[in-house]
Amino acid sequence: MTENKLSRLFELLLLIIFWTAMVLSGLHILSDSFTQAIGYKGCWFYLNTGLKGPTCGGTRAAQALLQLDIISSVQYNALLLPGGPLLLYFGVKGSWLFIKGKSILELDIRPAKLMLAVVVVTFYSVLRNLFI
């Protein structure tokens, strides 16, 4: 298998994982029966460590946002407002690039921007656990 075909296969796998996660997240947010059917008992990280991870409260935040309750959404998880649309943007744009036969590397996510995102998420995770 050539390097280009292997690269395309890897990109396809990434996009399948992304869109599967989006669909499952949407079902989880919109349907309590789906949540019960899969046996969801809450945030795995929180249940096992007692600490809030960067995504804890994301479901409640998304549900509050769908009800246009922005204040509650931010209280549940402040990363959802900037992070959700940004993640969706990169997923849609990456998919579009892939469909057009281009590489998702053309998203041109600079290492400095990626490092900034890691620092913000880490800082947020630490701060939210200091004020439990």
The CB density around residue 28, as the number of other CB atoms within 10 Å, is 17
d(CA 32, CA 105): 37
Give the separation between CA 42 and CA 57, rounded to whole angstroms.
9
pLDDT of the residue at 97? 92
* pTM greater than 0.85 (yes/no): no
The span from the CA of 128 to the CA of 46, in Å, is 12
CA 128-41-58 angle, to 5 degrees, is: 40
| Cα–Cα nearest to 27, from 17, 41, 38, 13 | 38
Q: Is the pLDDT of residue 69 over 80?
A: yes
Q: Is 110 helix (H, G, I), strand (E, B) or coil?
A: coil
Residue 121 binned pLDDT confidence (cut-offs 50, 70, 90): very high
Phi then psi for 84, rounded to 5 degrees?
Answer: -60, -55
124 close to 54: Cβ distance less than 8 angstroms: yes
